Structure 1
């Protein structure tokens, strides 16, 4: 405290002319030994949290960046986490939100994120094998999982740390975060049936992926319970381009036995379907209803009558990052796992 009784502004740390920010520099400024500084920056569990915070504050102020080659030589780690993601584009998808959530969760830790892309026509094992064989990352986050996912089997066999956004047939053995799409499919059918709809069609994700199979399974079971007709739209998926979805909708609604309700698992698919039907002269909440899920509050602004459930991608990204750090640091402990259930009371409709 100053003589006036007010808190003094902490003095800004400055380097001497020509001095480079190194571990020795941080040790000198903090009064701690170099090994202690190194362990604090590596988030060692035996270092007090207030010490870690002080060391990181000094490191940030002087612009210290660890030499990754040196870190790897000393620890065998790269302090790199890779998100392995397809370049397949889906308008208004969740990818950006997921990346932001993962990087936010890693803020203040030694880890940095890199994005490792692969093309839709490329074997998704290619980037996985490269990272595992070269050790270019300490762990991986994958999505678009399949029930019998070759990537998961390979990383389990090689004891390589990873976490998946989505479950697999081997989920008991690995870390994952998943949204219960079986429940979403069921709830969507029930909500539409409550509105008196009798023929419900779903623009499903690619059916090779686990969450698509779960969603369809839940929808079919609920349709049977409710005594309504259910079908999966042919010729397009929720990952298809806008023209392909528009063509599939035009074909479907020119049939005599056309649906009177729809299920959309993505914002882009929902918007495209509604727009296509409106161009055919059909009116939402009169000629058809639609139930959808979204990660960004958009659909109710687009059309207030859409039934909407929210999927929290920020929660997913945060959990995926923490679960992967846990696998890297504690490979012999049980993997972190979370399955999030949609809330039936959470359907949001603006009137």
Structure 2
């Protein structure tokens, strides 16, 4: 039941102008400041009617808790830090991940802060800063390596975190991952169905865990269909579009050129298409191309590109769920999520809702 407020109106006298405060809500609802505070914290001794009224008024006037005060009282920042390098692929990965994380954080006390770093700098710097300053309650990481120093550091310092990708270092931790091994295998199958005999892969750098997964699946698919793998070791999906285009142009002008390409990102697919056409070849006739994409764009660019969608927004949702539950003390082995489209062979180029399965 709601606490009585009679006789406490002096505590909730009309507030001075400025940002909305607990006093502002108390004045507008007629409740005491103590009741308002406890209602916003979902205290069990506050009635549901009072909670709804307080929350509605707080939302209408744009009330936000004072972060410094919250930290002094609870030792928490209510911040989740998303650590991203400043050169993440522009084809929708970063924005879609942020949207997914925001979907989950909405309605919780947590808000998102993006902590950027450059690939040229030490990736441990943002980790040390967050831990040493206590500037976040949890961390979300991308670009995960098999032996990732950041994962070990956060684990050793007891910082809740979740990773976009898996490690292979004997440390159990929360993660969401796209099944890149299955992607590589299915992409090879799609090339085989189009009669491809020689195929190449433009994948991620070898230091990233998902490179191993993607290459394993691709090689398995080629073996199953008796296709030859043509090495293209000069470029990765991390390279500039100009570099990828030049690399594809060179291999298409050489002897034993591939007649099929698998790209690990939408940006790489656009650059590879340009390299194929620069070499005087036709996409869909001389060269077949299968690519992963994070946004519905490749079919609009070239209808002959076959696509497999990675729902990065769903990945963001999973990662936010993982890190919040980790903060709450849920064991890491209950926070593993692997996603993949239901039917990668039947994709018109529209984003699909990916099923997520606990692993």
- Could you tell me the TM-score, scaled by structure 1's length? 0.88
| CA–CA distance in structure 1, aligned partners of residues 42 and 240 of structure 2 | 44
Q: What is the CA deviation profile of residues 312-339 of structure 1, one whole-angstrom value per residue up to 9, with x for unaligned ones?
A: 1111111211221111123557542210
Q: Shift of residue 38 of structure 1? A: 3.7
Q: What is the CA deviation profile of residues 136-158 of structure 1, one whole-angstrom value per residue up to 9, with x for unaligned ones?
A: 01110100101111111111111
Deviates more, 1:16-25 or 1:195-204: 16-25
| CA–CA distance in structure 2, aligned partners of residues 178 and 113 of structure 1 | 20
Deviates more, 1:247-256 or 1:18-27: 18-27
Question: What does 1:92-241 align with in structure 2 at a 5 Å threshold?
Answer: 92-170=91-169, 173-241=172-240
Q: Shift of residue 30 of structure 1? A: 4.3
- Partner residue in 1 for 2:300: 301
Question: What does 1:6-17 align with in structure 2 at a 5 Å threshold?
Answer: none
| 1:257 has 2:259 as partner | no
| Contact kept? 2:145, 2:208, Cα under 8 Å | yes
| CA–CA distance in structure 2, aligned partners of residues 73 and 129 of structure 1 | 22
Q: Shift of residue 28 of structure 1? A: 4.8
> Does the C-alpha gap of structure 1 residues 273 and 74 become closer, same or farther in structure 2, counting only changes over 3 Å?
same
> Does the C-alpha gap of structure 1 residues 141 and 36 become closer, same or farther in structure 2, counting only changes over 3 Å?
farther
| Contact kept? 2:172, 2:332, Cα under 8 Å | no
Deviates more, 1:179-188 or 1:311-320: 311-320
- Partner residue in 2 for 1:285: 284
| Contact kept? 1:161, 1:331, Cα under 8 Å | no
Q: Shift of residue 62 of structure 1? A: 2.0
Q: Does the residue aligned with 2:262 lie in a helix, a strand or coil?
A: strand
Deviates more, 1:30-39 or 1:142-151: 30-39
Q: Shift of residue 216 of structure 1? A: 0.4
Q: What is the CA deviation profile of residues 182-217 of structure 1, one whole-angstrom value per residue up to 9, with x for unaligned ones?
A: 000000001101111011101111111011110001
| CA–CA distance in structure 2, aligned partners of residues 46 and 274 of structure 1 | 63
| CA–CA distance in structure 2, aligned partners of residues 313 and 96 of structure 1 | 9
Q: Does the residue aligned with 1:278 lie in a helix, a strand or coil?
A: helix
| 1:66 has 2:39 as partner | no
- Partner residue in 1 for 2:247: 248
Q: What is the CA deviation profile of residues 267-304 of structure 1, one whole-angstrom value per residue up to 9, with x for unaligned ones?
A: 11101111121122111121010011112111111111
| Contact kept? 2:91, 2:294, Cα under 8 Å | no
- Partner residue in 1 for 2:340: 341
| Contact kept? 1:178, 1:338, Cα under 8 Å | yes
> Does the C-alpha gap of structure 1 residues 35 and 164 become closer, same or farther in structure 2, counting only changes over 3 Å?
farther
| Contact kept? 1:184, 1:342, Cα under 8 Å | no
| Contact kept? 1:200, 1:262, Cα under 8 Å | yes
Q: Does the residue aligned with 1:173 lie in a helix, a strand or coil?
A: coil
Residues paired across the two proteins, number: 336
| CA–CA distance in structure 2, aligned partners of residues 113 and 184 of structure 1 | 30
> Does the C-alpha gap of structure 1 residues 257 and 134 become closer, same or farther in structure 2, counting only changes over 3 Å?
same
> Does the C-alpha gap of structure 1 residues 168 and 58 become closer, same or farther in structure 2, counting only changes over 3 Å?
same
Give unpaired runs (5+ residues) of structure 1: 1-14
TM-align CA RMSD: 2.5
Give unpaired runs (5+ residues) of structure 2: 1-13, 350-359
Q: Shift of residue 175 of structure 1? A: 1.1
| CA–CA distance in structure 2, aligned partners of residues 172 and 49 of structure 1 | 43
Deviates more, 1:28-37 or 1:336-345: 28-37
